[in-house]
A and B are shown apart, each in its own frame.
Chain A
Amino acid sequence: GQNIDQPTEMTATEGAIVQINCTYQTSGFNGLFWYQQHAGEAPTFLSYNVLDGLEEKGRFSSFLSRSKGYSYLLLKELQMKDSASYLCAVRDWPNDMRFGAGTRLTVKP
């Protein structure tokens, strides 16, 4: 099975940078995903990592270390609209997706 751990809550200031960590255990790693979920809405896809390293997409970047079972999501130039829950999800081979409990990020002025 999988254990996916991420902080429950984080707070950051508008314009700042925040890093949300995720550690996981898996029996057959087949990809790591980050999703954003605003209150009352469905999750939306942010990023995908399957190889070690950093994937950058605009203000958001995601990093993966498979040997350490570790990923982080980096949000730069924070905006108020970035206040949301961020879900780390790991896919086990071949197609078994599991989600972490999510990190609720609050961006303050």
Chain B
Amino acid sequence: SAVISQKPSRDICQRGTSLTIQCQVDSQVTMMFWYRQQPGQSLTLIATANQGSEATYESGFVIDKFPISRPNLTFSTLTVSNMSPEDSSIYLCSVERQGANEKLFFGSGTQLSVL
């Protein structure tokens, strides 16, 4: 398994501000993924972050709104910029372990509420 530390665990923010979420993994991984889970819904992939290159964003998500950093193989950040109440959600980072299953492991999530 992978140990993934994600912080903050929760935050309440004002409209128009930005929040940076950090994700630290206990070992080197090639790809890190950022998901959003809106209330009562399933996970939606925001972007894939590879070390040494720009993140790849999914349809409906743009770099200006969700800038991502991936400075090394164990760390990544996701910033939620110019927040609005619609950004209230759980944000999860995840990594994939190479192996027979290549399953995803998830951080504990960041519960974001925007007022």
Contacts and interface: CB of A to CB of B under 8 A. Distances in A.
Interface stretch (A13-21, A65-73, A94-102): A94-102
Nearest to B96: A95
Contacts, number: 40
Contacts of B45: 97-98
B33 to A, nearest CB: 8
A60 interface: no
A32 to B, nearest CB: 11
A100 B103 contact: no
A92 B73 CA distance: 24
Interface in A75-99: 87, 89, 95, 97-99
A99 B43 CA distance: 6
Interface in B1-50: 31, 33, 41-45
A24 to B, nearest CB: 13
Contact of A101 (B41, B104, B105, B111): B41
Contact of B43 (A44, A45, A87, A95): A87
B42 A42 contact: no
Contact residue range for chain A? 10 to 19
Contacts of A7: none
Q: Among A33, A43, A95, find the residue whose CB has the most chain B CB atoms closer than 10 A.
A: A43
Nearest to A87: B42
A53 B44 CA distance: 28
Interface of A: 31, 33, 40-45, 48, 87, 89, 95, 97-102
Q: Pick the 7 closest A-B CB pairs, nearest first.
A: A42-B106, A99-B43, A48-B101, A101-B42, A99-B42, A45-B103, A102-B42
Interface of B: 31, 33, 41-45, 92, 96, 101-109, 111
21 contacts: A31-B101, A31-B102, A33-B103, A33-B104, A41-B109, A42-B108, A42-B109, A43-B92, A45-B101, A45-B103, A87-B42, A87-B43, A89-B104, A95-B96, A97-B33, A97-B104, A99-B42, A100-B42, A101-B41, A101-B42, A102-B42
